[in-house]
Each structure stands twice: as structure tokens, then as C-alpha cells.
Structure 1
Amino acid sequence: MNKVEFYRHHLEQEEIDSITAALGGIFLTAGPLTRRFEAEFADYLGCRAVVGVYSCTSALFLCLKAFGIGPGDEVITTPMTFVATANAVLETGARPIFVDVEPGTGNLDAERIEAAISDRTRAILPVHLYGLMCDMRRIRAIADRHRLRVIEDAAHCVEGTRAGVRPGELGDAACFSFYATKNLTSGEGGAISVNDPELAAELKLMRSHGIDRDAADRYSGAYRHWDMVRMGYKLNMFDLQAALLLPQLAKIEGRLARRREIARRYRGALTALPGVELPREIEDSVHAHHLFTIWVDPEHRDTILSGLEAAGIGVAVNYRALHLLTHYRERFGFKPGDFPVAESIGARTISLPFYPKMSDSEVDRVIEAVGVLSRES
């Protein structure tokens, strides 16, 4: 029996034709396709500007630097996330300050944020975990009271909304990922959405060495000398990434509908299983359905993981609590018990196969295997 892979991309002939056409053009780096993607993605998100970058990690780093965050500063974020979120803070010289998460969702617990604010705090960096948005109205209100920036890690949440708010609508910036397993993918890639044109212009400078004319400008029309006007980096999106992304934008809602259907099948079958808990859904929210995770007894989690793999089911863990990973323990002295809700979720999490190309029979195989293993545990 064939394996049910943890993830399969959904790139089709349209994407192949698009990147083939790009390969036949002049620009392989940031050029007209990057600009077109930025414009179309901004239109989809309903924001004033999008800045295409190499990855979501790049996006987070650039936003932090653009807001002047560096050594001696603190950024409040969550320990229930991929390492890139906190690593981007460390890369600026600032320190991530972890705040525990909501037990039902795994998202940053807004109730706990103000207790972690100090005179060194410069920003709040919430993560919209699995595709469910954080409570951005409350987070924005806290940030405004304390004059803090808000940078949203929306790597999981292109399509999401909560209480009528979309990613980037209340934050100073939102950062997106187009990594290989994301709902929109170019293998690697990222973007920043903003509603401040001056910030967008600054980010565009920073993503390309700090020079005032990008590749498309330098090689279009009459030659004009360029200048380096600030410190910058090499973190731009390029046209081959944009060529893969552009055709997918038109399909994003249809693919969300299929993931939503798979999620309903999973929830309907798995909710009543012994020892299996599902993250809570929030009313008045549109879940982006990037990941589908279950939470099981920590004593049996790794046994169930191994059993699923033995049954030909691809699995992952998104995520173990970040503060207990070796680098963070050794550098900052974190220990078990520091953020007990995140630790509990991290010890119980299993991510199941979840993508539009899954057939109903593959979904049924996953459900059956989880059922057998949960009853045996």
C-alpha cells in the first residue's frame, strides 16, 4: 500500500508553464514578476503594499531592523512556534521574551502579555499558529497602551481572519512564508504586508543591499548611477519564485475549501477518540487550515508517531516548546516548568497529513490508523 505522505505540493501545469516562461525572459532576479506578485498579493490581503523577500525568516528580521530593534531591546513572542520566529529576534541582537500560550489554541495568550512588558520591550511578535489568528484586537490595544510595535508572524495564515480582521490589518507589519509545505509555495519565499508606504519603501531598500535602485530599475531605460543610502542585506524575492506563486493566487480559496473539507472529516472522526484532543476553533474566525494537529497523552505521543509511520502515514511535530531546545536552554537557562502550557502542547502534538491533493481514501486511512493507535494506547 502506498504511503500517505505528510505533504505533497499542488503545483500544476499552469505553474510549470509560468516558470518556464520566466526562464525564457530577461529577469531571473527581482523584476517585473516580483512586482506583479507584490501588487496582486497586496490586493488579495487588502493592504497598501507588499514587499517580496526570500523567506519569512528574512521578513521577520527586516521588520525588526526597520523598527530599530537591536541590542538591549526585548521582543515579546511565543515559545510555541518554529525556531525562526525567535531566531530572527536574536539575529538583531535583541532578546525574545516568551509568554505562555492559550491552552485551547496554542496561540500567544494576550492575558499574559502585559506582565512581561519591561522598559526594554520594543515589540510584540504574535504567531497565528496552525492558521488560526491570534486575538489581534486585544494585542493591538496592549501595544498602543505601551507604545509598542506589532509584527505578525503569519507564516501559517495567508487566508485567515478573526473578528473581521485579516493578517497585517492591525499589526505594523505581517510576515508570510512560501516555504515548500505552505498553502502558497515557491519552495522558499516570503513577503511582508504593510499599510505604511514609507515603511514599504524602507523595507525594499533594506532587502537589496540598501541601494536606491533595484535590478529592474538599473537595467531598464537609460543607465543612471545608483547609491547605497543605508545598511542593507541580500534578502529579496526573485522572479522565479514569483512565477510559481502568481498562478496559485487565483486558486487559493478553492484549495482552502478542500482543506476545510478534510478538516471537517478529521474533526468529525477524531473528536470522540479516547486520549485525543483537538485544538479549539474560535467563533467569528476563518481558519487558514495550514496544519491539522492532534494532542495526545505525552506518555504515548512518540509511540503513536512511530505507529503511524509503520502504517505508512507521514507525520510531523509542530512544535516542541521552543525554550526547551538545546540552544535556548544553554543560552538563557530555560528549564521545564517555565511555560507549562506550551510545554504540555509540545509534548502532546502530532501533525497529520493535510493538503488539498489528499484523496478521501487517504484521509480515511489516516483516521483509521489514529483510531487504532489511540485505542491501543
Structure 2
Amino acid sequence: MKVEFYKHNIGEEEIRKVVEVLHSIFLTTGQVVYEFEDKFSHYLGCQHTIGLTSCTAALHLALLAYDIGPGDEVITTPMSFIATANAILHVGAKPVFVDVEPETGNINAELIEAAITPCTKAIMPVHLYGQMCDMKRLKAIADEHRLKVIEDCAHCIEGERDDIRPGQLSDAACFSFYATKNITSGEGGAVSTNNSDVADKLRRLRLHGMTKGAEERYGGKYQHWDMDILGWKYNMDNIQAALLLNQLERIEELMKRRQEICRRYEMALKNIDGLSFPRVLPNSKSARHLFTIWLDPNKRDSILWKLQENGVGVAVNFRSIHLMKYYKDTFGFEEGMFPAAERIGKSTISLPLYPKLTDHEVDFVIAKIKEALNF
């Protein structure tokens, strides 16, 4: 038996919608993208969403939209995918890491103020594995020090904490629709904001800095365009949006099944010596993007490989960013600087988690974990 690490949720309705787009005139950014943006904003309770090609693009443009660049610092977490910190570098700013909460892997809000300098312009929290950071605390810190908050929500569309959802307290919230995400268009992303001026700027930034998109130029009487800002080529197309629309309608249904799978894992694995997993806080609704287990760092890789040999698809999310060669060489980061993040990075294994996973397959994964641990 083999259990894949991930299977997407694309079905016949998504395929039908894509075929409909392929038979239409507009394949690039048009009415299907605008429909998705409106529905995604409604789901979040945000005023504006701008569809993009990735969450990396969303982070990059959000920083640009708030005029963050060379000489500036952005406080973030080393426990994330490299795109979080890379986006800060792409605008010429410097990522300043603070350590994470040992029980969740999220940025430790109590350590942020000590990292603030006159160069600090923003905080970029990451809602790791789908559980939101303490946004009320982060917002209070940001307001006190006049900082922007740009959320990396690559793992967290459906999450909630203290009655706060993504995008509610931040200046921008950035989302991923990558192949393994809770809803997917293969590649894709979005940025949501409640600031109308910033939303307008983001729309221009996603398309070279042009004042009019293709549909506006060619959808009726031709309209001349101008370029009033230096932008990028990051616009979501109608094909990507077509894949997302029906998944968005089913997002809570898909979430319910992932929750059931996570609880099955938790019940079976909670009393095993040498194994732990991130804690979902009582006041939180995790989006349940990833289910990770934490093991003895000295045994992690051997267990990882044994699970693969026994038919279980696994991954590592993530090794700590500051210990990547580029970051060590560029900034002089060393082991021991962020011990909580380092411990997680050396001990973590991500297990299969997706709605198509059957109870039988979940039980197979559990059995193979116990076998690998000689439990």
C-alpha cells in the first residue's frame, strides 16, 4: 500500500469551469478573476482582494505597496518557507528574525519589541501549519511603534483566533494557492486589504505598473493606458481563477474532513514517548493545512526515510531559514541563535493530510509511524 503525501481537490466542476474559460475570448485576467476576488473577499470579510501568481508575489507587492525598501527592516520568523524572508530581500529590505513559540511554531510576540529598531517598518507574521498568530498582540505592538503588519497566510485561509480572521487586523494578508494548498490552482496567490488606495496600487503593481488591464483596454472601445509606477508581471489569469471558484464554495466542507483526519492522528499519537506535535490553542480554529510530528532530531531523518520506504509520503516543513547557506553567508547567522525554531526544523515530519485521505489510509500511516518508532 502507498499513501501519497498530497492529492488535490480538483473535480469535474473545476474542470468544467476551466473548459468554459478555454472556449471564451479571455484567458488572462478578466471577469472570472474578478468574480473570484469578490467571493474571496466576501469569505474573509475583507474589502479588496487582488489575484496574483503566488503568495511570494503577494508578499513582495504588499511590501512595495507600503513603500518598504532599502535600508528598512521587517521583523519575521525563521520558521517558515524561504519565500517569506526572500520577499523582504526582493524589495531591498532586511529580514530580522525573532524566535517562535515552542508549542505552536508561530512567531513569539513577546520577543518582537526587543527586535524593533529605528529601521523597522513592518512585522510579517506567518500562520504556521494553519494556526493564526496572536494578531491582537501583534496589532497592538504595531500600532504603538507605527509599523505595518503584513500577514503570510500561505497556510491559513480558514483560520481564526480570538474571533479574528486573516486580514482583519493587518495592513495586508497574503495567500497561496500552490499545488498542495487547501484550495489550489496549481500555482497562484492573492493579497487582501481593507485599504482602497493600497488595493488600487496593488492592481497596478501586479501588471507592470499599467493603469489599465487587458480587459479594460480591449473589452470595449479601446482605452489608452499609462504607466505611473514600476510594476511586475504577477497577475492571476482566468484559468487559475476558474480552478479556484468551486473549491472556495466547498472550503468549509474540505476543512471539516481535514479536521477529522487531524483529530484521528492526535488521538492515536498523543501518548507515544518521543513524539509530539504542535498544539492547537483553545481559542483558535486552525486551517489545518499541515499535520506535523516532532521527533528526536537525531532520529528524524532515519524515521523519515523509513516511512518513505514503507509507503508513506512525507515532507519536512520546514528547516529554519536562518540556517540556509545563503542566509548564513549573507547575514552571518549561526546555530543557536533561534533555538525553538531550530529544534522544530531538526525534528519535524509532515504527514499526509488532504480530504481524499480515507480512514484506512490514515490508520496505515499511524501504524507505520509506530512501527518506525518501535512503539
Give the TM-score taking structure 1 as reference length. 0.99
Q: 1:327-357: CA deviations, max 9, x gaps?
A: 1011111110010110001010000000000
Show the counterpart of 1:146. Answer: 145
What letter is aligned with 2:357? Answer: M
For the residues of structure 2 that align with 1:224 and 1:63, how far apart are their CA atoms? Answer: 28
Check whether the contact 1:52–1:192 (CA below 8 A) recurs between aligned residues.
yes
What letter is aligned with 2:33? Answer: T
Where structure 1 has 5 or more consecutive residues not aligned to the other structure, the ranges are: none
What letter is aligned with 1:298? Answer: P
Show the counterpart of 2:165. Answer: 166
Deviation at 1:373, TM superposition (A): 1.3
Show the counterpart of 2:234. Answer: 235
Alignment size in residue pairs? 375
Say if 2:218 is the partner of 1:223: no
Show the counterpart of 1:214. Answer: 213
Check whether the contact 1:154–1:176 (CA below 8 A) recurs between aligned residues.
yes
List aligned pairs for 1:288-367, cutoff 5 A: 288-367=287-366
List aligned pairs for 1:282-293, cutoff 5 A: 282-293=281-292
Check whether the contact 1:160–1:287 (CA below 8 A) recurs between aligned residues.
yes
Q: 1:41-66: CA deviations, max 9, x gaps?
A: 00101110101111000000000011
For the residues of structure 1 that align with 2:337 and 2:12, how far apart are their CA atoms? Answer: 49
SS of residue in 1 equivalent to 2:75? strand
Deviation at 1:211, TM superposition (A): 1.0
For the residues of structure 2 that align with 1:242 and 1:201, how far apart are their CA atoms? Answer: 20
SS of residue in 1 equivalent to 2:121? strand
Show the counterpart of 1:276. Answer: 275
Deviation at 1:285, TM superposition (A): 1.0
Show the counterpart of 1:124. Answer: 123
Check whether the contact 2:319–2:346 (CA below 8 A) recurs between aligned residues.
yes
Q: 1:247-274: CA deviations, max 9, x gaps?
A: 1111100000000000010000001112
Check whether the contact 2:75–2:120 (CA below 8 A) recurs between aligned residues.
yes
For the residues of structure 1 that align with 2:77 and 2:331, how far apart are their CA atoms? Answer: 15
What letter is aligned with 2:80? Answer: T
Deviation at 1:108, TM superposition (A): 0.2
Deviation at 1:222, TM superposition (A): 0.7
Deviation at 1:294, TM superposition (A): 0.3
Deviation at 1:229, TM superposition (A): 1.4
Show the counterpart of 1:63. Answer: 62
Check whether the contact 2:99–2:111 (CA below 8 A) recurs between aligned residues.
yes
Q: 1:108-155: CA deviations, max 9, x gaps?
A: 000000000000000000000000000000000000000000000000
What letter is aligned with 2:314? Answer: V
Deviation at 1:220, TM superposition (A): 1.2
Check whether the contact 2:208–2:231 (CA below 8 A) recurs between aligned residues.
yes
For the residues of structure 1 that align with 2:368 and 2:220, how far apart are their CA atoms? Answer: 61
Check whether the contact 2:278–2:293 (CA below 8 A) recurs between aligned residues.
yes
Deviation at 1:372, TM superposition (A): 1.4
Check whether the contact 2:105–2:344 (CA below 8 A) recurs between aligned residues.
yes
For the residues of structure 2 that align with 1:264 and 1:220, how far apart are their CA atoms? Answer: 50
SS of residue in 2 equivalent to 1:113? helix
For the residues of structure 2 that align with 1:10 and 1:224, how far apart are their CA atoms? Answer: 39
Show the counterpart of 2:20. Answer: 21
Check whether the contact 1:274–1:375 (CA below 8 A) recurs between aligned residues.
no
Check whether the contact 2:212–2:225 (CA below 8 A) recurs between aligned residues.
yes
For the residues of structure 1 that align with 2:243 and 2:146, how far apart are their CA atoms? Answer: 39
For the residues of structure 1 that align with 2:288 and 2:304, how far apart are their CA atoms? Answer: 21
Q: 1:266-304: CA deviations, max 9, x gaps?
A: 000001112101111111211100000000000110011
For the residues of structure 2 that align with 1:375 and 1:136, how far apart are their CA atoms? Answer: 40
For the residues of structure 2 that align with 1:271 and 1:371, how far apart are their CA atoms? Answer: 12
For the residues of structure 2 that align with 1:280 and 1:159, how far apart are their CA atoms? Answer: 17
SS of residue in 2 equivalent to 1:372? helix
Show the counterpart of 2:80. Answer: 81
**Percentage identity across aligned positions?**
57
Deviation at 1:375, TM superposition (A): 2.6
